[in-house]
Amino acid sequence: MKVIASGLRTLESTSGEFPRAVTPATTRRPSHSWRMQLAPLIDYNETDYDYRQAWDSPRNQLLGKRRSRRYCWDDAPQAGQELTTNVLGIVGPGAAFDSERSEALTLRDDLADLICAIEVRNSGIHWMQPRDLDYRELTSNVPQLGTFDDSFHVIFLDGKVWRLRADTPRDRLVLLMTIDGARANDRDELLEPFHTRP
């Protein structure tokens, strides 16, 4: 997760904005996940992936049949989940990866507490697929958070990665998953009681 957090900060500083969940499709280029925008910085040689083709095209599935060491780290996934991502961006209205946002998202002091990604198990989402977690669905018990039974990780917009106990109330997480929520709340106040150090 720290490598992903660092890659997100690098991408934001070089492009001038935090990536969107999905790059918009054009007549010359299909849409791609933020994980594929980030992958050349952290995971693989860019020549392995053709951005002119869809993520699930036969050409790109040559890469897609391989397990990504940066996005798929669960040592004991359920059968059929070996190629699913263990990290999902947070989407939904006002979220860090909100594809509908009208202005560029950059790191500012008032947004440091914004949760932009979370660790999950058995997501059912291929690591290259342009799909993520809508924070409005997090209040249920799905998905299972973390690849360990006792904890999971979150990435904040400022690049910090926190390991949180499995019993962290999901409603507290949701409060920090929107821009407005991150401005109105403090991560130390909400999450420090559940913050564990490795």
Which residues have a Cβ under 8 Å from the Cβ of 8 and sit 6 or more positions away?
Answer: 18, 19, 38, 116, 117, 155, 159
Whole-number pLDDT of residue 174: 96
Within 10 A of 54 (CB to CB), how many other CB atoms are there?
Answer: 18
Give the Cα separation of 148 and 99 in Å (integer): 30
Whole-structure pTM over 0.75, yes or no? yes
For residue 177, what are the CA distances in angstroms to 61, 94, 103? 32, 8, 17
Residues 21-45 have pLDDT tens digits of 888 766 666 688 999 888 888 876 6
Closest CA to 19 of 87, 109, 117, 85: 117
